[in-house]
Amino acid sequence: MMPPRTARTTAEIPVSLAELRQLQEGLRGRISVDEPMSRHTTFRVGGNADLFLHASHIDDVRLALFWSK
């Protein structure tokens, strides 16, 4: 069994704040840092996602996929 993950600070996420701001400018939705996945699962389980996209349009998903490569 793996030990529980500790919360990471923004400085530990492998993307710069400038890159996040640039990505956010092109989105209709929003990006959350260190988002608890328990808010998005039926059984309220899961650790925190480093970055979580709250997409409000299919173009948000396309941009995030392009940006992630």
DSSP letter (8 states) at residue 13: S
Task: For the chain, give the mean pLDDT.
Answer: 84
22 secondary structure, DSSP code: H
10 falls within a domain: no
Domain count, the chain: 1
Kindly state whether residue 6 falls inside one of the protein's structural domains: no
Look at the pTM and tell me if it is higher than 0.85.
Answer: no
Q: How far apart are CA 20 and CA 15, in angstroms?
A: 7
Per the domain annotation, does 17 fall within a domain?
Answer: no
Residue 57: give the domain boundaries.
25-68
Tokens found for residue 2: 């793996």
Q: Specify the CATH number for the domain of residue 54.
A: 3.30.43.10
pLDDT tens string 15-40: 788 888 888 898 999 999 899 999 99
